[in-house]
Structure 1
């Protein structure tokens, strides 16, 4: 009985130490309900740029309707592309440093960073 309990505790500890999560892109996040009729494409662009900057992302307009965001935290770097229009935007993985991306999984913090960016962009679209 003691071996079973110790085995379960060890399995729980090892699973808690897992530092990777599946990488999923945010594709075509609908913002039509946030934009309304009085917003322009430039309002969406400015909202994305400002939201990223507030969270510490370096945001750069790459071409019309495409922003590249780079987040550097300590020894970790994440790079995303954010294509956008008046109906939706996406946050797409481009590259990373020290996030252990293996083609499927990435460091457990990356999804949180992307989710925080999405929430802040939505907030800025509504308030700007």
Structure 2
């Protein structure tokens, strides 16, 4: 009987560990464009800052349409693709696609969140430097 409880506890721990490796996707939505001097930026300046921010972190950033940049990050065998929608006042970082990040039903590998947090921080820093 004791052996059965140990196996059951081990199974629960393994299941919990597997679930802990994925988390719900959280997008950055309508983050304000804030600059250090309080000046209003043009959409071109915002676009250029977003592209520079992503590239500085190894993202491939492509302006695909006015107000839209597609970013792709390849790390080892993993890839994340996001849409960055922007205007002169706000920007959003939205999940688009991924590979080898265990995406399923709105859940994704926990490392994805760190990559998005880093991209968001880098964008804010680039905008503030203008």
What TM-score comes out, normalization by structure 1 length?
Answer: 0.84
How far the C-alpha of 1:87 sits from its partner, in A, is 1.2
Match of 2:83 in 1: 81
Match of 1:30 in 2: 32
- Any residues of structure 2 matched to 1:85-96 within 5 Å, and which? 85-96=87-98
Structure 1 unmatched ranges of 5 or more: 1-5
Match of 1:58 in 2: 60
Output the CA distance in 1 between the equivalents of 2:104 and 2:13: 24
Match of 1:117 in 2: 119
Output the CA distance in 1 between the equivalents of 2:90 and 2:40: 16
Deviations 1:38-80 (A, max 9, x none): 5221111110000000000000000111000000000000000
Match of 2:108 in 1: 106
Contact in 1 for aligned 2:82/2:94 (Cα 8 Å): yes
How far the C-alpha of 1:15 sits from its partner, in A, is 4.0
Name the SS for the 2:50 alignment partner.
helix
Match of 1:127 in 2: 129
Aligned length: 123
Structure 2 unmatched ranges of 5 or more: 1-5
Contact in 1 for aligned 2:35/2:129 (Cα 8 Å): no
Match of 1:3 in 2: none
How far the C-alpha of 1:14 sits from its partner, in A, is 6.0
Match of 2:48 in 1: 46
Contact in 1 for aligned 2:40/2:88 (Cα 8 Å): no
What's the Cα RMSD here?
A: 2.2
